[in-house]
Amino acid sequence: MNQLQNFTKGFLKENPILVMILGACPTLATTSSMINGLGMGLATTFVLLGSNTVISMMKNVIPDKVRIPAFIVVIATFVTIVDLVMQAYVPSLYDTLGIFIPLIVVNCIVLGRAEAFASKNTVWSSVVDGAGMGFGFTAALGVLGAIREILGSGSIAGLKFISGDGILVFVLAPGAFIALGYLIAIVKKVNKA
């Protein structure tokens, strides 16, 4: 597998959210608007890049039996960095995303890539894998956020294009489940074709 395929597999074919259905919690919770979704996606991408890089560097040092706790500590370190940086520089986004920033640590995507990819591959391919997966995650969050924002409040990235309200339910909890359900069905169809 060349590096380009390695990078692009996260977009559609192995998209962490839409195909593998991992990390559904932040996906549903932070996509009430496009900006929030992208913010969460970028925060997770940073953690994914950092943990993939460090874990693939340390894969020969970490004993096999304690690898999962070791991975979790590495991931938690990067999550703490993101948490503190976002609190300092983008406080409003930090407040909106709230508890879901520390919860990146239990996001199955991050640990999943560490276990399935970074612990077996070279540093460079792990970086590429992390970037590709992070990009796929961010894109899925952005798309879902955009769909919910357009339908729910009639705006995109905060710019309103209809007067009055949208279909309110799409901004609220039920709309998140329903929109993600249909998005997954569509991606399934596209991947099969």
Partner 1 sequence: MEYIILIISAIFVNNIVLAQFLGVCPFLGVSNKVSTSVGMSGAVMFVMVLATMVTYLIYTYILIPLGLGFMQTIAYILVIASLVQMVEIILKKISRPLYQALGIFLPLITTNCAVLGVAILVIKKDYNLAEGIVYSAATAVGFGLALVILAGIREQLDLADVPSGMKGAPIALVTAGILALAFMGFAGLV
Q: Which one of 35-43, 100-108, 114-122, 155-163 is the stretch in contact with partner 1 (CB under 8 A)?
A: 100-108
* Local structure of 173: helix, strand or coil: helix
Q: 69 vs 158, which CB is nearer to partner 1?
A: 69
Report if residue 184 touches partner 1, rule: CB under 8 A. yes
> Site for partner 1 (CB under 8 A): which residue of 69, 116, 157, 160?
69
Q: Could you tell me how many residues of this chain bind partner 1 (CB under 8 A)?
A: 42
Residues present in the chain in total: 193
152 CB contacts (<8 Å, ≥6 apart)? 32, 166, 167, 168, 169, 170, 171, 172, 175
> Site for partner 1 (CB under 8 A): which residue of 60, 161, 174, 193?
174
* Local structure of 15: helix, strand or coil: coil
Report if residue 162 touches partner 1, rule: CB under 8 A. no
Report if residue 72 touches partner 1, rule: CB under 8 A. yes
Report if residue 177 touches partner 1, rule: CB under 8 A. yes
| Cα 137–chain centre separation | 4
Report if residue 99 touches partner 1, rule: CB under 8 A. yes
**Secondary structure letter of residue 118 according to DSSP:** I
Report if residue 25 touches partner 1, rule: CB under 8 A. yes
Q: 42 vs 75, which CB is nearer to partner 1?
A: 75
Cα–Cα distance, 140 to 34 (Å, whole number): 10
Give ∠ CA 179-9-35 in degrees, rounded to 5.
40
> Site for partner 1 (CB under 8 A): which residue of 105, 144, 146, 147?
105
The two beta strands, 155-156 and 159-160, are antiparallel
Q: Which one of 37-45, 80-88, 133-141, 145-153 is the stretch in contact with partner 1 (CB under 8 A)?
A: 80-88
Q: Please state at what angle helix 123-153 crosses helix 173-192, rounded to 10 degrees.
A: 120
Binding residues for partner 1 (CB under 8 A): 21-26, 28-29, 68-69, 72-73, 76-77, 79-80, 83-84, 99, 102-103, 105-108, 111, 169, 172-178, 180-182, 184-186, 188-189
